[in-house]
Amino acid sequence: MKRVYVNEKWCLGCHLCEYNCAFANSGKKDMVDALKGKPIFPRIHIEGNEKISYAVSCRHCEDPMCVKSCIAGAISREDGVIHIDQSKCVGCYTCILVCPYGALATNADGVMQKCELCLQNSCGAPACVVGCPNNAIVYEERGDENG
């Protein structure tokens, strides 16, 4: 299945992916209207320092700890994609306790969210990937080992 992968050699640390993600999931048509002057809640995060940086988002794990641990059964795996049913989430943070990648965080309303590969919004392809100026994030099929 296709997943989001990063190549930290290419990452400029420009944080554009964070903005594109927040916009893609805002449901708004206009980026300024969606983001300007507001705290943003992206599902992808840049980590690192001035020299090394890279984006982290949900790995859509083969053996997902979040799915096995959610107390509400709100996280499920459908065709390999790990999905949160936000209407079932009660905000217990058990998924934050178990995700080894730190890939989940709450949205503006305190409900849990994470990368869903832009399959739940109207983008069609992950907005972080499409907008990355240096191809440091890609959306592709890879095998079990590094491809």
Partner 1 sequence: MRMAEYIIIGNGVAAIGCIEGIRSVDKTSSITVISEEQYPVYGRPLISYYLEGKTTLDKMNYRKPDFYESNGCRVLYGKRAERIDKDEKNVLLDDGTALPYTSVCVATGSTPFTPSIKGLETVQSKFSFMTLDDSLSLEKALNKDSRVLIVGAGLIGLKCAEGISKRVGSITVCDLATRVLSSILDNECAALMQARLEENGIRFMLEDTVTEFNGNKATMKSGASVEFDILVMAVGVRANTALVKELGGEVNRGILVNEQMQTSLSNIYAAGDCTEGMDTSLGERRVLAILPNAYMQGHTAGVNMTGGRELFDKAIPMNSIGFFGLHAITAGSYFGTDEGGEMYEERGDGTLKRLFTKDGVLTGFILIGQVERAGIYTSLIREKVPLDSINFDILKKNPTLFAYSQNQRRKMLGGVV
Footprint of ligand SF4 on this chain (CB under 6 A)?
58-61, 64-66, 70-72, 74-75, 82, 84, 89-95, 99, 101, 103-104, 112, 114
Q: CA-to-CA distance for 142 and 59, rounded, in angstroms?
A: 12
32 by DSSP, 3-state: which?
Answer: helix
Phi-psi region of 61 (alpha: psi -120 to 50; beta: other; left: phi over 0): beta
1, 12, 52, 71: residue in contact with ligand FAD (rule CB under 6 A): 71
Q: Could you say which of partner 1, ligand SF4, ligand FAD, none residue 117 binds, taking C-beta under 5 to 8 angstroms by partner kind?
A: none
CB of 102 to partner 1, least distance (A): 3
Which of 38/142 has CB closer to partner 1? 142
Which of 34/81 has CB closer to partner 1? 81
**Token pair of 39 as six digits:** 């705290």
**109 CB-contact burial (10 Å; exposed 0-12 / middle 13-18 / buried 19+):** exposed
Provide the binding-site residues for partner 1, judged by CB under 8 A: 3, 5-8, 47-49, 52, 54, 56, 59, 61-62, 65, 68-69, 71-73, 87-88, 90-102, 105, 142-147
